[in-house]
Amino acid sequence: DLAGYLNYKLQAPRSDPVLSQHPHDYPYCLVSKELRSIIRSLLAKASGFLELFFDHCIYTMLQELDKAQGQSQNRPAKCLTVLWALGQAGFSDLHEGLKVWLGVMLPVLGIKSLSPYAVSYLDRLLMMHPNLTKGFGMIGPKDFFPLLDFAFMPNNSLSPSLQEQLRRLYPRLKVLALGARPEAALHSYFPSFLSRATPACPPAMKEELLSSLSQCLSLDPLSFSVWRQLYSKHLAQSSLLLNHLLQSWESCSKKVQQSLQETVRSFKVTNEELAARGAGGDTDVAACDTACKELLCKMKGRGLPWSRLLLVLLLLAAGLLLHDVRTHGSFQASSCARLLRSSGVLPASQLAWQKVSRACLQGYR
């Protein structure tokens, strides 16, 4: 009776079954507090029948749509009505909203009549739940990478405006996918990031993939072992990543540089084996080998700077000597001179200096 009364009194505009011009809780937001209280108490008393009640409401809405002429033309409207009804759960619970979106809206992403609502619902869902922690664990690699492709791959089934809207949501979707401990999850994303990072992929997507691959290596050490396993089958992609790491070398942490050194050395061995067998494509092997050599040169260049260290020590010794002389009034009275005299170094050095001076004078004459 309640469902019939509400459906009779609350007629949705046929031209806009998802009520896009209204608040998410329309028309419930218009009723008085007293009526809201009555509805909530009635639903609480019938908690065991809520699933049947929900099914009945949807079935009745679809029946009403069928009464219109041209039922085949109402198929998009009926689909949107179901999506709208299922999506209501998400506005109070991010976990449930993501479950609905991944289950029924992601599969229709790309269908011209349904994509705008699917993207706008996701936008509203994430806007209403800025704290993403309740959604951790909902998006895995299986769902994440189709979203990445929709957001960055040109000429897909989304319009440019919807793709741009989805790309703005992508950073938050990535946070949801990686969860509370990215350092324990990133290695499982590394293979799909790497396989997509081809030389021919679009610039924006290539930038995102290389950045994500660098993040995998920086935060999750297991990514290095995954990369070593994939290397010989992904030479072109590995060449891009190696050159990216070469360009961003100065910003890499020492820990990453040490792990990378071991990995690059193993790549060098693999490159020699591939070149000897003539496998993997000469161009790709050569490009990888060149990048490996340049990285190894970078690593060697970060050895202990002996010349700078020696210069610092000399300046430090000169400063201490100057302070000692000023404190005692003269070099002969200084602590350094006493130490040198007691050790026999000062007389020997004075004698050597005299011999050098005498030899220089004779040579000058």
Own/partner long-range contacts of 195-203 (Cβ < 8 Å, ≥24 apart): 195/234, 195/237, 196/145, 196/148, 196/149, 197/237, 197/240, 197/241, 198/236, 198/237, 198/240, 199/236, 199/240, 202/152, 202/153, 202/154
Please state the rounded mean pLDDT for residues 323-341. Answer: 65
Radius of gyration of the chain (CA): 36
Kindly state the tokens that stand for 300. Answer: 């060697």
Look at residue 332 in the predicted model and tell me its pLDDT: 65
For 53-83, the pLDDT digits (tens) are 888 888 888 887 777 655 556 788 889 989 9
Q: Mean pLDDT lowest for which of 14-18, 202-206, 269-273?
A: 14-18
pTM of the complete model beyond 0.85: no
Average pLDDT score over residue span 306-333: 66
Q: What's the Cα-to-Cα distance from 20 to each of 24, 25, 141, rounded to whole Å? A: 8, 11, 31
* Residue 308, pLDDT score: 61
Q: What is the DSSP string of 191-229?
A: HHHHHH--TTS-HHHHHHHHHHHHHHHHH-THHHHHHHH
pLDDT band for 130, please (50, 70, 90 cuts).
very high
Contact assessment for residue 260 and residue 217, using Cβ atoms and an 8 Å cutoff: yes
Q: What pLDDT is stored for residue 182 in this prediction?
A: 96
Q: In this predicted structure, what is the pLDDT of residue 347?
A: 66
Q: So what's the pLDDT on residue 354?
A: 67
Q: Which amino acid is at 161?
A: S
- DSSP for 233-301 reads G-HHHHHHHHHHHHHTGGGS-HHHHHHHHHHHHHHHHHHHHHHHHT-S-HHHHHHHHHHHHHHHHHHHT
Per the CB < 8 A criterion, the answer to whether 231 and 264 are in contact is no
CA atoms within 13 A on the CB side of 97: 24
Please give the pLDDT value at position 60: 81
Confidence (pLDDT) at 34: 86
Q: Is the per-residue pLDDT at 242 higher than 60?
A: yes
365 has a pLDDT exceeding 60? no
Q: What is the pLDDT of residue 340?
A: 58
| CA 74 to each of CA 12, 70, 117, 225: distance values in angstroms, whole numbers, following the listed order | 14, 7, 16, 53
Please tell me the predicted confidence (pLDDT) of residue 22.
Answer: 75
Fill in the amino acid letter for 268.
Answer: K
State how far the Cα of 150 lies from the Cα of 111, in Å rounded to an integer: 12
pLDDT of residue 10 exceeding 60: yes
The arithmetic mean of pLDDT across residues 17-22, rounded, is: 75
- Portion of the chain with pLDDT greater than 90, in percent: 50
pLDDT band at residue 361, thresholds of 50, 70 and 90? low
Q: pLDDT by residue (tens digit) across 135-194?
A: 999 999 999 999 999 999 988 889 999 999 999 999 999 999 999 999 999 999 999 999
Could you read off the pLDDT of 202-222 as tens digits, one per residue? 999 999 999 999 999 999 999
More confident residue, 336 or 87: 87
Per-residue pLDDT, averaged over 276-301, amounts to: 84
Band (pLDDT 50/70/90 cuts) for residue 337 is: low
| Alpha carbons 293 and 301: distance in angstroms, whole number | 12
- 21 band by pLDDT with thresholds 50, 70 and 90: confident
